């Protein structure tokens, strides 16, 4: 995989691979020192032309947990305000030689354009109304954690489908994972011919009780040029997911940010059926998996655990692992981790691992420091 521009580019095995890799990274997030050296020396540039809380912070955290260097660029407060174009901004920042650019813009197709202007791997973090592939991947991950599998699940995506990049990516991803997807909302907010993506369409919530998962969308007024519903009050009366409409066994999802009292009532946001914070948590590990897949390749995932080093010692196999090839650090994986932790904590005594594995003197930094 060279870029991640759209869920359309991913078949089911590719989605499964990223989700499985995210599962392995979940273990890193539970450690006291939440870091692995997989992308040490690589640079990730976060280029955000739109407001973002979850997506931006989780991409930053994901890159940092993989030990990449991160540069955050927000269009507001930059030369974009002086009239610099997207192309010139990308070319300017490309002078720093980023390995990956994470891009969010209000323009559909911008990520694809940028992928033709520079050599970095491009990750689409939302392009206008078009797609938001990492959101769909983290939603697949969240549902897999909850149900084990998605095959045969009935998922209703409710609300402003017309202005939602999340809806488009999620319809594709959920279906690829075997779910039956229904989109529901006011006729003005359901794009014509959306059925061609393979989903069903409903204009009322009368059959919502048949859903296993209810996925609510925000009214994306910043992407609207006209008024599409009489009022938010009227919208809420017909389409709000609340305690009356959500049945006790249904799982409630939302990509955030939530407008409490509009698409969701406060009580359902705070109910145990809502997995909204689990979605945010999944965002970090899934984005780690995406960056790892793009920059280190999807090879030998066990290189991230101590198992490889143990295997190598047991079998006498001293070939470098994928990670070692990527970082140029050819010490056994356990030694690398110990050295990384020592560098991170400032503790320069030999770790048990280093002392027992190599009988070495204290590791003060590795060859790359």
Residues that bind ligand NCD (CB under 6 A): 54-55, 126, 132, 135, 165-166, 218, 220, 255-256
Partners of residue 181 on adjacent β-strands: 155
**Tokens at residue 315, please?**
């079998």
Question: Which CA distances in Å does 9 have to 34, 108, 341?
Answer: 31, 16, 37
Residue 55 C-beta: closest distance to ligand NCD, Å: 4
Residue 322 C-beta: closest distance to ligand NCD, Å: 31
Residue 347 C-beta: closest distance to ligand NCD, Å: 37
Residue 134 C-beta: closest distance to ligand NCD, Å: 9
Question: Which CA distances in Å does 301 have to 24, 100, 157, 248?
Answer: 8, 20, 33, 38
User: For residues 190 and 198, what is the distance between their CA atoms, to the nearest angstrom?
Assistant: 14
- What letter does residue 244 receive in the DSSP assignment? T
Closest-CA residue to 146 (of 95, 215, 93, 88): 215
Closest to ligand NCD by CB, 40 vs 132, is: 132
Closest to ligand NCD by CB, 104 vs 331, is: 104
Closest to ligand NCD by CB, 114 vs 217, is: 217
Closest to ligand NCD by CB, 220 vs 358, is: 220
Partners of residue 214 on adjacent β-strands: 156, 252
CB distance 105 to 127 below 8 Å: yes
Residue 276 C-beta: closest distance to ligand NCD, Å: 10
Closest to ligand NCD by CB, 36 vs 253, is: 253
Peptide bond between residue 265 and the one before it cis (omega within 30 degrees of 0) = no
CB-nearest residue to ligand NCD? 218
- What letter does residue 76 receive in the DSSP assignment? T
Closest to ligand NCD by CB, 126 vs 133, is: 126
Residue 65 C-beta: closest distance to ligand NCD, Å: 19
Closest to ligand NCD by CB, 8 vs 207, is: 8
Peptide bond between residue 229 and the one before it cis (omega within 30 degrees of 0) = no
Residue 125 C-beta: closest distance to ligand NCD, Å: 8
Q: How many CA atoms lie within 13 A of 94 on its CB side?
A: 15
Closest to ligand NCD by CB, 18 vs 363, is: 18
User: For residues 130 and 195, what is the distance between their CA atoms, to the nearest angstrom?
Assistant: 16
CB distance 65 to 40 below 8 Å: no
Residue 259 C-beta: closest distance to ligand NCD, Å: 9
* 20 Rama sector, left if φ>0, alpha if ψ -120 to 50, beta otherwise: alpha
């Amino acid at each position: 995989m060279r870029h991640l521009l759209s869920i359309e580019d991913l078949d089911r095995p590719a989605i499964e691979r990223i989700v499985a890799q995210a599962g392995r990274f979940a273990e890193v997030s539970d450690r006291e020192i939440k870091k692995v050296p997989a992308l040490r020396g690589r640079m990730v540039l976060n280029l955000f032309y739109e407001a973002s809380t979850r997506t931006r912070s989780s991409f930053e955290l994901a890159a940092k947990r993989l030990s990449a260097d991160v540069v955050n660029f927000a269009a507001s407060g930059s030369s974009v305000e002086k009239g610099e174009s997207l192309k010139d901004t990308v070319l300017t920042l490309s002078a720093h030689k980023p390995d990956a650019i994470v891009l969010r813009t209000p323009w559909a197709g911008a990520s694809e354009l940028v992928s033709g202007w520079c050599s970095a791997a491009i990750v689409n973090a939302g392009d206008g109304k078009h797609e938001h592939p990492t959101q769909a991947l983290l939603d697949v991950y969240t549902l897999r954690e909850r149900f084990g599998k998605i095959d045969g699940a009935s998922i209703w995506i409710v609300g402003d489908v017309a202005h939602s990049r999340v809806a488009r990516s999620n319809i594709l991803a959920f279906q690829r994972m075997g779910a039956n997807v229904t989109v529901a909302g006011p006729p003005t907010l359901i794009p014509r011919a959306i059925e061609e993506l393979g989903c069903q369409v409903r204009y009322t919530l009368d059959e919502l009780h048949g859903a296993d998962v209810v996925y609510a969308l925000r009214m994306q007024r910043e992407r609207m040029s006209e008024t599409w519903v009489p009022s938010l009050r009227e919208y809420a009366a017909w389409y709000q997911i609340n305690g009356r409409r959500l049945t006790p066994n249904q799982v409630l999802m939302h990509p955030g940010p939530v407008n409490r009292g509009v698409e969701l009532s406060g009580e359902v946001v705070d109910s145990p059926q809502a997995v909204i914070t689990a979605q945010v948590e999944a965002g970090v590990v899934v984005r780690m998996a995406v960056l790892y897949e793009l920059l280190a390749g999807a090879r030998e995932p066990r290189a991230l655990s101590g198992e490889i080093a143990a295997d190598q010692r047991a079998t006498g196999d001293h070939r470098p692992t994928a990670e070692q090839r990527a970082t140029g650090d050819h010490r056994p994986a356990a030694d690398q981790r110990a050295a990384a932790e020592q560098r991170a904590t400032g503790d320069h005594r030999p770790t048990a691992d280093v002392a027992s594995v190599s009988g070495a003197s204290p590791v003060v930094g590795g060859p790359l420091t």
